[in-house]
Chains A and B, each alone.
Chain A
Amino acid sequence: MSKAVLYDATKCIGCRACQVACKQWNELPTEATINRGTYENPPQLSAYTFTKIRFNEVDDDDGKFHFVFTKLQCMHCEHPACVTACPVGALQKTPDGPVVYDDNKCFGCRYCMVACPFGIPNFEWDKPLPWIRKCTFCADRQGGGLEPACVTTCPTGALKFGDREELIIEARERITASSDKYVNHIYGEKEVGGTSWLYLSPVPFEKLGLPTLGSEPVTVDAERAMGAVPPVLFGAAAVMAGAYWVIKRRDRMSQERADKEERKEVTK
């Protein structure tokens, strides 16, 4: 059964310990940023920041003010666009849940970055020999029976690691238990075919800055088009060869007919 994390925005206090734990475990360098008048930092994910907490000041529909947080990282989709996009299969969805990246295959085309509906894979723009970088779901830790670093470090239980199906059931229970606290939507249950990261929120998810997405995987049309490649390949080859044969034969016949008539004229 594939693993998942449930992020409950009502329990997150924006301490950003997950950011620190992520940098420590993945041995990521710090980034120089400027003071923008907020504790939210760095301003966006990058090749050196796999996760961050976004700060949101939101008025809900009843005019009530919320100071809520969004944890951003790779969503580890069930049908990942990046995995379908990658021409060399450097990105793979493992049965356990993580979408992992193999820099022994990647040649840096950045199609994954363009294809990802969540805008997650990032690139080492400052390096002469750059790779793609993104959250690994701590696949290495999971392999050793550990939780992802961010989950382990979270002091309030806003992050919960477990089996995806069980976490969806638990999320639904939390919503039913205190329906005034949550919007009735588990973000990631259905989005683009489902993701391994699931979100609960007191405010609509677009106010958390998460993209509004349909339940169909974004890979459907592209995979259908790719499925048409073999028939098009052989079909086009057959049509062209057939056209060549027919046209050549027709030209030869008309040539022969012309020759015959010419001969007739001469013998007359």
Chain B
Amino acid sequence: MIQKKRSFPVGTSILSVLVILGLVTVIVRYLNGLGAISNLSDGRAWGLWISFDLYCGVALAAGGFTLAGAVYIFNLKKYHPVVRPAILTAFLGYTLVILALLVDLGQPWYIWHAIIYWNIHSPLFEVAVCVMAYTTVLALEFSPAVFEGLSKSNFPVIRRFNWHVPIRIIRAIQIPLVIAGVVLSTLHQSSLGSMLLMMPETLHALWYTPILPILFLISAVAVGPAMVIFESTLSTRAFGHKLDLDVLSGLARAIPYILGLYLLLKVIDLMAVGEIGLIFLAYPQNMLWWGEIIVGVILPIILFSMPGVRQNRNAVFWSSVLVIIGLVLNRFNVSMLALGMRPGTIYFPHWMELAISVGLVADALLVILLAHRLLPIVSHGEAIEGSS
């Protein structure tokens, strides 16, 4: 694990500057209020942070529970090498959500009120509980990598600690942890859809449906493997350890089935309430609808169904990027673009809103860089089952 000494790389410097810029913005927010750093208003109370950091952040973290479930519950051992990076990204995704909420919430230091004051009818209560519980599960799921890293630390004092004890404990509860992760994710991904069920009058009819929670869950399951392909391809380029093409194409093969189910449900739902005509008539919103469906659903279904595409690393990568873009479009549509505002409101994110979100992503990238350098992320000799 000995690294060559290098000068501070350019990428890391840029990321650090972005993180600092984000932090400065946070300070302004706590001195002068949310109005000073955002274009949010009474007419548009939720903006970029909710659409990007919460809605996209949670959905793009879906690689964690889909892969953990596939490997540990369905025993698809082939995908074992990508579980740890997937769980790390999921954990970072959820950390980003929490950090973004520290800025977005009016009184974030009272967030623990969600633990003691329950409103079991509120979808956001479900979201809050799932975020807290699942972030804990993800931290525990990832912790063996940290303990392994510490047990091989360069400092003898740290190395001497009995790190195999916590590792053995986590191993012993690994299967319950994975099941908890899958169950919490099922609830959490769908609850973000349930949240929008409160807005039947303001969310456009092309998107509003009582089955929104189910659609949210399915699209998250579809984007899970796509995110894993995306990350592992990038980390292959950045860190050099190449992944079997077999693993990538196996992940790619699953995506068309999930997206197909998603498309089917979406279209049948619109037909069932007789609103299918809106996809041609409801200009300009129908353009947004077609955008997310063509880019994120129809094109990936076609591409991933072609064996030639699945056997080509680049093609698999770019097709996954389409799935991800489509999902981001969808989440922006339902939480911002197709969600009506109070009359007379206009909204475009303030640059400081962007600075917060960009800073948080830079944060996560720095942690990934560090983790790959310091911790056993990809090639690790962990036994597949906890029985050892």
Contacts and interface: CB of A to CB of B under 8 A. Distances in A.
A45 interface: yes
A226 B342 CA distance: 26
A128 B113 contact: no
A84 B187 contact: no
Interface string B71-92: 0111100000000000000000
Interface stretch (A21-29, A62-70, A156-164, A215-223): A215-223
B30 interface: yes
B198 interface: yes
B198 A85 contact: yes
Taking residues whose C-beta sits less than 8 angstroms from the other chain, chain B's interface range is 35 or more
Nearest to B179: A240
Contact of B122 (A87, A127, A129, A221): A87
B42 A122 contact: yes
Contact of A218 (B29, B72, B193, B201): B201
Interface in A85-128: 85-90, 105-111, 113-115, 117, 119, 122-128
B223 to A, nearest CB: 19
A114 B46 contact: yes
Contacts of B175: 244
B74 A247 contact: yes
Nearest to B73: A244
Given A123-B42, A222-B123, A223-B121, A88 B114 contact: yes
A143 B121 CA distance: 28
Interface string B30-46: 11111110001111011
B166 interface: no
Contact of B198 (A47, A84, A229): A84
A110 to B, nearest CB: 4
Contacts of A224: 210
Interface stretch (B2-10, B124-132, B319-327): B124-132
Given A225-B210, A240-B183, A130 B122 contact: no
A169 interface: no
Interface in A209-247: 209, 211, 213-214, 218-219, 221-226, 229, 232-233, 236-237, 240-241, 243-244, 247
Given A106-B110, A110-B46, A240-B69, A89 B117 contact: yes
Given A114-B199, A213-B201, A226 B73 contact: no
B379 interface: no
Given A85-B122, A87-B122, A108-B106, A128 B31 contact: yes
B388 interface: no
Given A84-B122, A114-B199, A123 B45 contact: yes
Contacts of A117: 201-202
A128 B107 CA distance: 9
B118 interface: yes
Interface in B220-266: none
A229 B126 contact: yes
A182 interface: no
Contact of B105 (A86, A109, A222): A109
A195 interface: no
A9 interface: no
B285 interface: no
A44 interface: yes
Contact of A44 (B34, B105, B183, B344): B344
A137 interface: no
Nearest to A192: B201
A81 interface: yes
B347 to A, nearest CB: 12
A124 B124 CA distance: 21
Contacts of B385: 248
Given A105-B110, A236-B183, 18 more contacts: A44-B344, A85-B123, A85-B198, A86-B124, A89-B118, A89-B119, A105-B113, A107-B111, A111-B124, A113-B45, A130-B107, A218-B201, A225-B213, A233-B183, A233-B187, A243-B73, A247-B75, A248-B75
Interface of B: 29-36, 40-43, 45-46, 69, 72-75, 105-108, 110-111, 113-114, 117-128, 175, 179-180, 182-183, 186-187, 190-191, 193-195, 197-202, 210, 213, 339, 342-344, 385
Interface of A: 44-47, 81, 84-90, 105-111, 113-115, 117, 119, 122-132, 209, 211, 213-214, 218-219, 221-226, 229, 232-233, 236-237, 240-241, 243-244, 247-248, 251
In the A-B complex, the 3 residue pairs with the smallest Cβ-Cβ separation, listed nearest first, are: A108-B106, A125-B35, A113-B45
24 contacts: A45-B42, A85-B124, A85-B198, A86-B124, A87-B124, A87-B128, A107-B111, A107-B114, A108-B110, A109-B124, A125-B33, A125-B42, A128-B29, A129-B106, A209-B343, A222-B195, A224-B210, A225-B123, A226-B123, A226-B126, A229-B191, A236-B186, A247-B73, A248-B385
